[in-house]
């Protein structure tokens, strides 16, 4: 897939597609880092025909040394997607509560699993409601899907890969957490503060605002200001691979489908106390955040 139209869909267009003879499979992946569970939101109201899929238990593996949101077991992911009605080659649309983060991680996971026909509802649930489109409290039971999970369709970094990329003269590892977390001034979640040595900081609000992405040329400019240049390998990380998946989506929009996700992110990096930790401002010679 290439082009924004293959990555995002607006509410009015999605409504027309859902009213067609062959609508896309619709996945509600609302989620909050600190709770309450997204299923509560789904039960209160969702897009008609949407099936709830849990980010923590369906789309990720159990938390541990691999990170707070590690890669899922392929067989478990396949079972969860089939239960949600995902069919091989059939379009899927994912949406969340509006910030675009859990939906982006769902988008990334399906793409990583080899299912290319997946888009994100731009603006999520709030955009749908604001458009005055119908909602439902009925939880459908879709026919079982037949999707086959084939891991590895999108590039993934582990800790060693991330370290090499951050240290490479011709590569860039982007840390998309808030600047204070990058600098090591605060760490509200993980046990160690700081960043991967050599990584550059581009906080998520610099390229996405309240789940809304700017135009592709604007994204290219903002990533270029952080050192993401044509032909230069790029990877992204955050706290646990959710916000960074949104960065990978933005990089796809900016024409970088080769962008890699460090899935374990900071929560994996600090699980090994032998890994070095940097604090303070941007590395010497790196471009500042846009």
Q: Residue 37's pLDDT is what? A: 87
238 given a catalytic annotation: yes
pLDDT confidence band for 33 (50 / 70 / 90): confident
The answer to whether the CB of 248 falls within 8 A of the CB of 108 is yes
Whether residues 95 and 161 fall in one domain: no
pLDDT for the residue 151: 98
Shared domain for 8 and 126, answered yes or no, is yes
Is 151 inside any structural domain?
A: no
Say whether both 85 and 42 belong to one domain: yes
Q: Which residue has the tokens 């009605």?
A: 85
Band of pLDDT at residue 283, cut at 50, 70 and 90: confident
In this structure, are 12 and 93 located in the same domain?
yes
Query: Does residue 274 form part of some domain?
Result: no
**In this predicted structure, what is the pLDDT of residue 34?**
84
- Does residue 189 share a domain with residue 106? no
Position 3 confidence tier, pLDDT thresholds 50, 70, 90: low
Whether residue 284 is predicted with pLDDT greater than 80 in this model: the reply is no
Reading the block at residue 70, the tokens are 């590690």
Residue 251 has pLDDT above 70, yes or no: yes
**125 & 164 share domain:** no
Please indicate, yes or no, whether residues 161 and 48 belong to a single structural domain of this protein.
Answer: no
Which residue segment(s) compose the domain that 76 sits in?
A: 4-130
Final residue of a domain: which of 130, 164, 198?
130
Q: Is residue 145 assigned to a domain?
A: no
Q: Are 81 and 147 in contact (CB under 8 A)?
A: yes
Residue 137 structure tokens: 């409290």
- Same domain, yes or no: 165 and 56: no
Q: Output the pLDDT for position 286.
A: 57
Among candidate residues 130, 147, 165, the one where a domain is terminated? 130
Query: Do 117 and 41 share a structural domain?
Result: yes
Query: Does residue 285 lie in a domain region?
Result: no
> Is 16 contained in some domain?
yes
Cα Rg of the chain (Å, integer): 18
CATH of the domain at 165: 3.40.250.10
**Mean pLDDT computed over 221-239:** 96
**DSSP per-residue string spanning 208-235:** -BTTB---HHHHHHHHHHTT--TTS-EE
Same structural domain for residues 161 and 45? no
Domain count of the fold of the chain = 2
- Select which of 7, 149, 166, 238 is catalytic: 238
- If you average pLDDT over every residue of the chain, what do you get? 95
Q: 105: pLDDT confidence band, cut at 50, 70 and 90?
A: very high
Residue in the block written with tokens 């619709």: 26
Nearest to 278 by CA among 180, 161, 199: 199
In this structure, the answer to whether residues 113 and 163 fall within a common structural domain is no
Q: What is the mean pLDDT of residues 93-104?
A: 97
Is residue 196 predicted with pLDDT exceeding 80? yes
Residue 276, in any domain of the structure: no
Q: Is pLDDT at 31 greater than 90 in this prediction?
A: yes
Facing residues of 174 across strands? 200, 236
60-92 tens-digit pLDDT: 999 999 999 999 999 999 999 999 999 999 999
pLDDT above 90 for 181: yes
| pLDDT reading at 127 higher than 50 | yes
Residue 2 has a pLDDT of: 42
Q: pTM value?
A: 0.95
Inside any domain, residue 139: no
Per the domain annotation, does 248 fall within a domain?
A: yes
- Judged against a pLDDT cut of 50, whether residue 45 lies above it is answered with yes
Same domain, 190 and 246: yes
């Amino acid at each position: 897939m290439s082009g924004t139209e293959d990555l995002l869909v607006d509410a009015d267009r999605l409504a027309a597609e859902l009213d067609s003879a062959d609508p896309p499979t619709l996945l509600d992946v609302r989620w909050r880092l600190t709770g309450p569970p997204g299923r509560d939101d789904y039960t209160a109201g969702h897009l008609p025909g949407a099936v709830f899929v849990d980010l923590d238990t369906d789309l990720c593996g159990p938390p541990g040394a691999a990170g707070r949101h590690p890669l899922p077991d392929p067989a478990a992911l396949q079972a969860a997607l089939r239960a949600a009605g995902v069919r091989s080659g059939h379009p899927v649309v994912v949406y969340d509560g509006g910030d675009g983060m859990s939906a982006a991680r769902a988008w990334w996971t399906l793409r990583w699993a080899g299912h290319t026909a997946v888009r994100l509802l731009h603006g999520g649930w709030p955009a749908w409601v604001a458009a005055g489109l119908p909602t439902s409290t009925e939880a459908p039971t879709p026919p079982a899907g037949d999707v086959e999970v084939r891991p590895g369709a999108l590039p993934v970094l582990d800790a060693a890969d991330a370290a090499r990329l951050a240290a490479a003269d011709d590569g860039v590892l982007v840390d998309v957490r808030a600047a204070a977390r990058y600098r090591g001034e605060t760490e509200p979640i993980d046990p160690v503060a700081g960043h991967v040595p050599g990584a550059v900081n581009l906080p998520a609000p610099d390229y996405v605002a309240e789940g809304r992405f700017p135009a592709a040329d604007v994204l290219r400019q903002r990533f270029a200001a952080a050192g993401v240049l044509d032909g230069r390998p790029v990877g992204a990380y955050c706290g646990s691979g959710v916000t960074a998946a949104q960065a990978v989506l933005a990089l796809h929009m900016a024409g970088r489908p080769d962008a890699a996700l460090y899935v374990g992110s900071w929560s994996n990096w600090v699980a090994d106390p032998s890994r070095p930790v940097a604090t303070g401002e941007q590395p010497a010679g790196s471009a500042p955040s846009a």
